[in-house]
Amino acid sequence: MTADGADKPDRAVVRDALGVGVAVGLSGFAFGVTSAGSGLGLLQSCALSLLVFTGASQFALVGALAAGGSPFTAAAGAFFLGVRNAFYGLRLSQLLALPRAVRPFAAQWVIDETTAVTLAQPTRRARRIGFTVTGLTLYALWNLTTLFGALGAKAIGDTRAWGLDAAGPAVFLALLAPMLRTTTTERVVAGLAVLLGLGLLPVLPAGVPVLVAALAAPVALVAEGRRRPRGPRGEPVTGPDGGAVAEGDR
Amino acid sequence: MNTWIAIGLTAVGCYAVKLAGLLVPAGAMERPFVRRLAALLPVALLAALTAQQTFADGHGLVLDARVAGLGAAAVALVRRAPFLLVVAAAVLVTAGVRALGG
């Protein structure tokens, strides 16, 4: 993505948006296969992509269900992953200045990729084009490829033999990597969460260790505040967004 | 039925937080602590999920072909490969190691 001057041509914005939309949209195939491999039906896999439409939450949900988690712990993990979208929405509502009547429809597209593309645009017109084109491309492709993936999973049989059980964690890692490039606290949180998530796996019911691992975030945040007693309410000096979309794209 | 309950809860919850971001006045969630927590929460969840789905086998921990696959994904990420390539690297290497009997 480029951010060249105030009068960026519409075509350049569309090109940026299509690049992100197509690349990530195609990975819906991995979700469809993973979802079907986790035991979800075709209708269930497609319903997730149509209605939830935020990749990390979808992968987390089917993974937790496959591991035998209760629907409530599975949904809680997926929900907490989706909370970041509220903060994207806060930024986007200022940048896009959408009419109130449009917001319930635009809301479904408020995700990592649309936010990354929108933030990278120089003008309101470019931001609106970027948001719309990314959202539309990604929504259409993600749902189409989910359908193909879920259908294809049956045809290819054992998804493990094809290495497709590695798709979910690879998606998580790809989302996580840019966040780790921001501050030390991010890396401390990640390390602590890994220890909690793996250490508690043998002793707690499926799905619960991930929720406990989420506590690494407030714990590290409080510790960060203690280390920097002069910072108001413990916020770091860098990264106005905490770097959640710091890399601009993936 | 349990799966549909999970899908319903997740769909409603995830849509609600997306919409809340667009509707809530900016001041309400602008407190630095809240913003910072919202940025760190996905870090914790994604790290735990990555580790579990790489090493977990039911309630036990194992080292299998997925570790090699995730290693390949990590290398791709360090080299700033596109998203799709990162996932493809993990899948292909995992499949390759399994085919070799790993």
Q: How far apart are CA A15 and CA A137, in angstroms?
A: 11
Residue with tokens 């990597």, as numbered in its chain: A177
- The answer to the question of residue A152 being in a domain is yes
Q: Between B2, B46, B90, which is nearest A166 by CB? A: B90
**Residue A184 placed within a domain:** no
Q: Which residue from A65, A86, A174 is facing B29, i.e. has the nearest CB?
A: A86
Cα dihedral B76/B82/B83/B89 (nearest 10):
-40
| A218 part of contact set with chain B, CB < 8 Å | yes
A18 in reach of chain B (CB within 8 A): no
Report yes or no on A188 lying in a domain. no
Q: Which of A160, A172, A215 faces B49 most closely, judged by CB atoms?
A: A172
A-B C-beta contacts closer than 8 Å = 342
Among residues A185, A174, A180, which one has the least CA distance to residue A249? A174
Do the domain assignments include residue A89? yes
Q: How far is B63 from chain A (nearest CA, A)?
A: 13
Chain B contact for A9, CB < 8 A? no
In a domain, A133, yes or no: yes
A116 inside 8 A of chain B by CB: no
Which tokens in the block code for residue A26?
A: 């195609």
Which residue type sits at A47? A
Q: Do B18 and A108 touch (CB under 8 A)?
A: yes
* Residues pairing with B56 in the sheet: B61
ipTM greater than 0.95, yes or no? no
Contact call for B86 and A173, based on CB within 8 A:
yes
**Angle (deg, nearest 10), helices A216-227 and A184-199:** 140
Angle of helix A167-180 relative to helix B32-55, nearest 10 degrees, comes to 140
Q: Report yes or no on A205 lying in a domain.
A: no
A217 belongs to a structural domain? no
Prediction pTM value: 0.80
pLDDT, tens digit, 9 for 90 and up, residues B21-49: 999 876 766 788 888 888 888 899 999 99
| pLDDT (tens place) for every residue of chain A, 250 residues total | 444 455 778 998 898 888 888 878 888 988 999 999 999 999 999 999 999 999 999 999 999 999 899 999 999 999 998 988 988 898 898 889 999 999 999 999 999 889 988 988 889 999 999 999 999 999 999 999 999 999 998 888 788 888 888 988 998 898 899 889 888 999 999 999 999 999 999 998 888 899 899 999 999 999 888 876 544 444 444 444 443 333 333 3
User: What's the number of domains chain A is made of?
Assistant: 1
Q: Is A202 part of a structural domain of the chain?
A: no
8 A C-beta contact, residue A61 and residue A81: no
Q: Which of A185, A162, A204, A203 is nearest to A242 (CA)?
A: A185
Count of CB atoms within 10 A of residue A101's CB? 7
Listed by start position, the domains of chain B span 63-102
Spell out which residues of chain A touch residue B93, defining contact as CB-CB under 8 Å. 163, 166
Whether residue A138 lies within 8 A of chain B, CB to CB, comes out as no
A144 shares contact with chain B (CB less than 8 Å): no
User: Mind telling me how many Å the CA of B67 is from chain A's nearest CA?
Assistant: 9
In this complex, which of B22, B44, B83 lies closest to A106 when CB atoms are compared?
Answer: B22
Residue among A141, A159, A171, A215 with most chain B CBs within 10 A, to mutate: A171
As a whole number of angstroms, the longest Cα–Cα distance in chain B is: 57
Chain A residues with CB inside 8 Å of B55's CB?
198
Identify all chain A residues contacting B53, using CB atoms and an 8 Å cutoff: 63, 165, 168-169, 172
